[in-house]
Amino acid sequence: MGFPRQILLLGPPGAGKGTQAKRLSRELGLAYCSTGSVLRREETRPTELGAEIHGFLKEGHFVPDELVLKIVYHWLQAVRAEFVLDGFPRTLAQGSALDAFLAESERPAATAIYLDVPDEVLESRVSRRVCCDPCGNVWVRGEAPPKCPDCDGLVGPRGDDSLDLYRSRLAEYQNKTLPLLPYYEGHARLRRISGEGSPTEVFTRMMTALQP
């Protein structure tokens, strides 16, 4: 029995989910989707959906379950592949709906990895990071290229990384996402690891936790 092939990366904003999910995707040959990046791209489009998403994100609130599920279902139906999802699900309703969708599609249930990082470390990381919105790559301020080497997008601070807005996002995460942990624990599908340290150190812990 090998590594799980349908994986969910969970953790607070700033925990390093995107960095680890992309590396996991490359290492295990899994399709990769960041719901946060998809929503931020959709937010910039001159559409009714984009305006609706913008209204939630600018206040640091979660986008409603039905909109996020619609985006994720469309992606899963399109790729029909083993996957790693970055930052999804974000609510208990989304987790339950994903399980039902995978069961109906006759696909294995997903394994969740939780990156645990103290709040003070998260705030320090967020205050120093810059990123490329189109593809989600992240760098430390002062060490970033002017343009993303993967997509040629501009690199800069995220609009929702201001300290007040970040704390609003973190509070909503703690209220709505943390209840997912006992849900996956109850199904013996949760791997908890420390998200502190270098990206390589965290990745090593993650691969160890995923071993059968």
Please give the angle made by the CA atoms of 202, 34 and 63, to the nearest 5 degrees: 120
CA–CA separation, 161 and 98 (whole Å): 28
Q: Which of 23, 40, 90, 191 is catalytic?
A: 90
Q: Which of 22, 169, 176, 191 is catalytic?
A: 169
Contact 19, 199 (CB under 8 A): yes
User: Is 90 an active-site residue?
Assistant: yes
Buried b (16+ CB within 10 A) or exposed e, 23-32: bbbeebebbb
User: Is 58 an active-site residue?
Assistant: no
User: Is 107 an active-site residue?
Assistant: no
User: Is 70 an active-site residue?
Assistant: no
User: Is 158 an active-site residue?
Assistant: yes
Q: Which of 125, 158, 191, 205 is catalytic?
A: 158
Radius of gyration of the chain (CA): 16
CA–CA separation, 62 and 80 (whole Å): 26
Catalytic residues: 17, 90, 129, 158, 169
